[in-house]
Structure 1
Amino acid sequence: MVEFNPDEPLVARTFAELAVELHDAPSVEETVDAVLQFALRAVSCTYAGLVLAARGGRAEIGAVTDPLIEKLYRFQLDAGDGPLLDSLGEQIIIGVRDTGTDTRWPEWAAKARALGLGSVLHMPLAIGEQTVGVLSLFSTEPNAFGDDDLAIAHILARHASVAVAHARHDESMTQAVDARKLVGQAMGILMIKFDVDGDRAFAILKRYSQDTNTKLRDVAQQVIDTRNLPAH
């Protein structure tokens, strides 16, 4: 437990606590959840959400603090239009002061109003040229976000960009190590069962992966589970 000076400004204490919690978060999911919970505390928002940039420029919902935010996210992802996608694609801050008067995305604005949202702020997350995602802040009131909120959201977005990027990297490295272990075990099974060397065993796994359009690690897992080659 971290001790804080009670005379220290609330925002400084909040971000100090955030830095500690993000450092200790063991996964992408928990990192994203920590960012959203701090957003609710530090910014004048009713709800928050975070969308992650996936391969091919796609967007995937990381987490939301309320199901209605997921509905609004899904609406944009299905329509292929909205401030979230523009913020993600162009790495720009997009604020909607009043969903009742904003005319840039009329269908999205109507959906946001129907969900009871008055104002929205999208903050892009990026490390250099690498797009990480978008942090979204929502309020039921129009004109809810002032200059102080924007400044705090800037700092939060910078913290979140680094933390999420590192968490995703660590998770990918762990998955890669696990995949190598699975492939190694499957190769050992094939080498004994079919009396082949390591190169031949790997070639067999690779062929099954390509022919069935199945990830190599999944083919390896099937070999481990059944002690035999998958049906093909």
Structure 2
Amino acid sequence: MRMDQMARFSEPLSASSDDDQTFDADAFARLAVELHDADGMEETVEAVVQFALQAEACSYAGVALTLRGTREIAAVTDPLVAEIYQFQFDLGEGPMLTALTEGVAVHVPDAANETRWPTWTAEMAQYPIGSVLHAPMWANAQLIGVLSLYNTEPNAFSADDEAIAHILARHASVAVASTRDDETMTAAVDARKLVGQAMGILMERFDLDDVGAFEILKRYSQEFNVKLRDVAQELIDTRKLRGDAR
């Protein structure tokens, strides 16, 4: 994230002085603008976790994403969050993994005395974490990730913190889903350009029409079990098709 963008988050996220303790709408408005201006997935999730640090009682933050069965550590404010994420992936248990797979919010008031995930609790003894809060990220009825907040002290997260986490997770979900759609569309356009360029090479070399050139690319893709765009890229780079000694 650029320094000028990080400056937008310099004001702490806090409840207003109203009796109902409504949250600072201006803070979330700033976040919405920042997420809209973010350039790609990496900058989007980085903006989310940096903003999360402004939430009351948040010492560390992270975002893990899931897509078509794959999971990734998308952004963390400290390497220890990545370590905590990773050992849960490796162990197959933990509050983050529960939130990420079941799509439910998970609050761990006292990490040292947590009983729901005994292996996780034992592993967490090496980290300076007292309490944990995970909020699922949903977009278009699809679970896409989880926002994680950590504090070094037990019983640090209040009902207000939980409300902040859920609001932030909703903002993050919309931004991440939109960014994914944009990147998918860009990748599709790039793939079509590559295939078109490769077809042009074949048409010129073998005096083929576009149908014939595409059939050759498709045949090589199926024969070698390689994506069509990768076959096209290889032809463009080497001026040869895979297995062609010429």
TM-score normalised over the length of structure 2: 0.87
Write the distance in 1 (CA, Å) between the matches of 2:74 and 2:189: 24
State how far apart, in whole Å, the 2-side matches of 1:113 and 1:212 are.
Answer: 49
Return structure 1 stretches of 4+ with deviation > 6 angstroms. Answer: none
CA contact (8 A) 1:43 1:153 kept: no
Post-superposition offset of 1:104: 0.7
How far apart are the structure 2 equivalents of 1:48 and 1:151? 16
For structure 2, which runs of at least 5 residues remain unmatched after alignment?
Answer: 9-14, 17-22
Within 5 Å, which residues of 2 pair with 1:73-222?
73-222=85-234
* AA of the residue aligned to 1:37: Q
Structure 1: 5+ residue stretches without partners:
3-7
Deviation at 1:184, TM superposition (A): 0.5
Aligned with 2:30 (options 10, 17, 26): 17
User: What TM-score do you get using the length of structure 1 for normalisation?
Assistant: 0.92
**Could you tell me how far apart the structure 2 residues matched to 1:177 and 1:58 are?**
24
How many Å apart are 1:139 and its aligned residue? Answer: 1.0
| 1:125-181 superposed Cα distances (whole Å, 9 cap, x missing partner) | 002421111001111111111011111111101111111100111111001100110
Counterpart of 1:53, as a letter, is: T
Cα distance in 2, alignment partners of residues 211 and 140 from structure 1? 55
> Paired residue for 1:48?
61
Q: How many residues align?
A: 226
In 2, the alpha carbon distance for the partners of 1:193 and 1:110 equals 65
Separation of aligned partners in 1, 2:31 and 2:74: 18
Q: Aligned match of 1:29 in 37, 42, 47? A: 42
Structure 2 residue aligned with 1:5: none
CA distance in 2, matches of 1:26, 1:72: 27
User: CA separation in 1, counterparts of 2:183 and 2:130?
Assistant: 36
Which residue type is aligned with residue 177 of structure 1? V
Percent sequence identity is 60
Contact 1:14 1:42 in 2 (8 A): no
